[in-house]
Chain A
Amino acid sequence: MTLTSRLTGLIGLLLSLIPSTSWSQVETHRLDNGLEIVVIPDHRAPVVTNMVWYRIGSADEPPGKSGIAHYLEHLMFKGTDEIPEGQFSQIVSANGGQDNAFTSYDYTGYYQRIAADRLPLVMRMEADRMTDLIISEAVWVPERDVILEERRSRVASNPSAIMAEQRDAALYLNHPYGTPIIGWEHEMSTLTRQDALDFYARYYAPNNAILIVAGDVTLQEVVTLAEEYFGDLPPSDAIPERIRPQEPVAVAPRRLVYADPRVQQPYVIRSYLAPERNAGAQQDAAALTILAELLGGGPTSVLYRALVVDAGIAVSAGAFYNGTSLDPTSFGLYAVPADGVDLEQAEAALDAAMADFMQTGPDAAHLDRIKVQVRASEIFARDSQVGLARAYGAALTSGLTVEDVDAWPAVLDTVTAEDIMRVAQQVLDLRQSVTAQLRGTPEPEAAQ
Chain B
Amino acid sequence: MFSSCADPKAIEGLTWLLCYLTSGKHLDFYASFGTVLALLAITAPTALAFGFFGAMAARSPMLPLRLLGQGYTGMVRGIPDIVFFLFFVIALDQGIEWMVHQVRCPDWTEPVRQGLEFRVCPEAKVPSSNAAQTWHSLYGFGLAVFTFALVFGAFAANVLTGAMAAVPRAQLETAESYGMTPRQVFRRIMVPQMWVYALPGLSNLWMILIKATPLLFLLGVKDIVYWARELGGSKTQAYEYPHPDWRLYYFLFLLCFYLLMTWGSERVLGRVSQRLSLGQATAAGEAQRKAAA
Are A and B physically bound partners?
no
Interface residues of B (CB under 8 A from A): none
Interface residues of A (CB under 8 A from B): none
